[in-house]
Chain A
Amino acid sequence: MTPLAIVCLAMLGGFLGGVLGALTGLGGGIIVVPLLTLGLHLPILEAVGVSLFCVMSISVGAAPRFVGTGLSNVRVALFLQVAASAGALIGARLSHDVPARALFLIFGLVMLYNAVLSLLPSRKTEAAAESSPLAQRLKLAGRYQEGGEWYSYEVTNPLPALGIMLGAGMLSALLGIGSGVFKVMAMDKLMRLPFKVSTATSNFMIGITAATSAGYYLAHGDVPPLLAAPVILGSLGGAYLGGHWMKVLPVQQLRRVFAVVLMCVAVEMLYKGVAS
Chain B
Amino acid sequence: MSERLEEQRRLITLWLLRTSIGLAVFLILIGMTLFLARGAVYFPRTPSGRIDEILVHIWQGASAGQASAFMDAGILVILFTPLARLASGVVANARSRDWLYVGIGAMVMALVLIGLFSGAEGG
Contact = CB atoms under 8 A, between A and B. Distances in A.
B111 A85 contact: yes
Contacts of B80: 211
Give the interface residue-count category, chain B: 35 or more
Interface string A223-255: 111101110110010000000000000000000
Contact of B10 (A7, A57, A67, A75): A67
Interface string A10-42: 000000000000000000000000000000000
A77 to B, nearest CB: 9
A50 to B, nearest CB: 10
A95 B123 contact: yes
Contact of B107 (A7, A82, A218, A219): A82
Q: Is the interface of B mostly helix, strand, loop or mixed?
A: helix
Interface stretch (A58-66, A100-108, A147-155, A183-191): A58-66
B5 interface: no
Interface residues of A, number: 56
A208 B122 contact: no
Interface in B63-100: 68, 71-72, 74-75, 78-83, 85-86, 89, 100
A92 B40 CA distance: 32
A170 interface: no
A3 B43 contact: yes
Contacts of B62: none
A86 interface: yes
B101 A64 contact: no
Contacts of B116: 211-212, 214-215
6 contacts: A4-B40, A56-B78, A86-B111, A212-B111, A216-B122, A229-B74
